[in-house]
């Protein structure tokens, strides 16, 4: 009997991470949900289990390398790692941005991804058919005003994915980067603007059908279920109303 493939999803407490966990569980993976908010991932794990799938919750801060290394000891073999944990803080220009915000974004988006990837790469390789997904952003590919810190962090993730793919070619591990554009979730913009729901709402004002977390999760599910010899190096996904980071059609 073939063992059920295991998928680790970081940042699984809400948004794209939670939607990805549901999608992968339905696709036949045993999902391991990680995030700092233990209550959230435990509730999601219970939901997935009640739906007839396999799920485990594990509270984890991806920036805590000691905790990440301890978590990794649970896996001798791993099919899939989805590096989703991250996020944006602030929208200040470079001249007046808070370095602490930049540092936090870099730690979560880049170092967090590095920590999980390094710690779990041996298990992914041991599986004989591993996949690493890095959730970056269209911010990883082009800049926009007020986004300097987030853009820098996401560029870091993009380069991490690109470099890792070069370095491990010839091993049985794929590196897939998914770069979403405008995605409307419950928390992303609200967190960025420190709880200011009015500012957060303006991000999506007048936009006909921005992407949802489920849209991105569906994209991830498709990419990771391609035949083993097929690697989706970089997949950019935007809503139809968004032509670039700075060109969005709005009806106001």
Q: Are 176 and 133 in contact (CB under 8 A)?
A: yes
- DSSP letters for 226-252: S-TT----EEEE--TTEEETTEE----
Sort residue 45 into left (φ over 0), alpha (ψ -120 to 50) or beta.
Answer: alpha
Q: How many CB atoms lie within 10 A of CB 86?
A: 25
Nearest partner of 109 among 151, 170, 148, judged by Cα: 151
Q: Which of 58, 106, 144, 150 is catalytic?
A: 150
Sort residue 15 into left (φ over 0), alpha (ψ -120 to 50) or beta.
Answer: left
Is 144 annotated as catalytic? no
| Residue 35 parent element (H or E) | strand 30-35
Tokens of 201: 């709402």
171: helix, strand or coil:
strand
Nearest partner of 147 among 245, 19, 236, 23, judged by Cα: 245
Q: Annotated catalytic sites, by residue?
A: 150
């Amino acid at each position: 009997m073939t063992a059920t493939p295991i998928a680790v999803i970081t940042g699984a407490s809400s948004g794209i991470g939670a939607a990805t966990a549901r999608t992968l569980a339905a696709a036949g993976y045993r999902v391991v949900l990680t995030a700092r908010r233990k209550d959230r991932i435990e509730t999601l794990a219970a939901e997935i289990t009640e739906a007839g799938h396999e799920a485990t919750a594990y509270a984890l801060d991806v920036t805590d390398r000691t905790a990440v290394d301890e978590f990794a000891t649970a896996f001798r073999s791993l099919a899939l790692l989805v590096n989703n944990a991250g996020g944006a803080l602030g929208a200040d220009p470079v001249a007046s941005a808070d370095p602490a915000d930049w540092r936090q974004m870099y730690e979560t988006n880049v170092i967090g991804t590095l920590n999980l990837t390094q710690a779990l790469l041996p298990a992914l390789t041991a599986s004989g058919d591993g996949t690493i997904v890095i959730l970056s952003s269209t911010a990883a590919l082009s800049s926009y005003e007020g986004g300097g810190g987030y853009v820098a962090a996401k560029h870091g993730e993009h380069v991490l994915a690109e470099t890792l793919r070069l370095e491990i070619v010839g091993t049985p591990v794929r590196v897939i980067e998914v770069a979403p554009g405008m995605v409307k979730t419950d928390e992303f913009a609200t967190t960025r603007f420190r709880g200011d729901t009015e500012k957060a709402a303006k991000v999506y004002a007048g936009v006909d059908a921005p992407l949802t977390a489920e849209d991105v999760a569906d994209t991830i599910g498709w990419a990771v279920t391609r035949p083993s010899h097929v690697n989706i190096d970089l997949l950019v996904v935007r809503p139809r109303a968004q032509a670039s980071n700075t060109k969005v059609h709005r009806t106001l």
